[in-house]
Amino acid sequence: MSLLYSGLTFLNFDDTYLLQNKLHSYSHEDIDFSHLEHANLYCETPALKRIKRELYRRKQRGITFIGSGNYHYVSYLLLKEIDEPFSLILFDHHTDMNLKEENEHTLISCGSWVSFALQNNPKLKKVIIIGPSSLTIHSNDYSCVEVFPIDTTYEVSTHTILSHIHTDTIYVSIDKDVLDSKVTITNWDQGHMKLSTLVNYPPLSISYELTPSGGFSVHRYF
């Protein structure tokens, strides 16, 4: 498989990438959201529309670096750019399907964007979530969602993942909080996945998107 598009885009919400010279040495496009209000954790509709407009204008669509996991909901907009049936593989310590809070039903957030995508994106046919702990798994009302918890003794195989996917196009999203805290530190509670486990999954995606929680860059050099 190969990427549908080429190029890198960095979204600057919180100055995560400003000092990461290695990343900036690659040809890329920057989009500045550092002054965007009402977009941290929860995103109000005007802010979401602004992000959507700026994403639409970009030319580098291959890999999108979002920055902090607080803005993981941007994935919801990126998924809407896919114009054919696809599956989402999400590496994350959280399912990002939480709709328990009242405002989660009206405001998209880093903790609810997967549910929003399932409700509003008919092209999304399957969701595979790898990495949550049993404590972070919320009730799942969607038959198209498969959740694979990761602990210190169990790792899901690539064969198992692919056996659940029946679309030609796959989108991969990675949140750094899926990794063990011995590998890197984030501003969220973290999983137990080893970095070697994460990087050894084959390049499954047609479109990659990486979202580290916090400003640390351990896993961004794929």
Per-residue pLDDT of the chain (222 residues; tens, 9 = 90+): 556 667 788 999 988 888 788 888 888 999 999 999 999 999 999 999 999 999 999 998 888 889 888 999 999 999 999 898 999 989 898 889 987 665 556 799 999 999 999 999 999 999 999 888 766 566 667 889 999 887 655 667 778 888 898 988 888 888 888 887 787 777 777 877 888 788 777 544 344 565 544 322 222 322
CATH of the domain at 177: 3.40.800.10
Of 14, 61, 6, 55, the residue nearest 33 (C-alpha): 14
Look at residue 216 and tell me if it is in a domain: no
Look at residue 92 and tell me if it is in a domain: yes
The beta-strand segments (E) located in the chain are: 8-12, 28-32, 42-43, 63-65, 86-91, 108-109, 124-130, 145-148, 169-175, 207-211
Please state the length of the chain. Answer: 222
Q: Into how many domains does the chain fold?
A: 1
Look at residue 35 and tell me if it is in a domain: yes
Look at residue 219 and tell me if it is in a domain: no
Domain that holds residue 84: 8-211
Look at residue 50 and tell me if it is in a domain: yes
Look at residue 22 and tell me if it is in a domain: yes
Look at residue 3 and tell me if it is in a domain: no
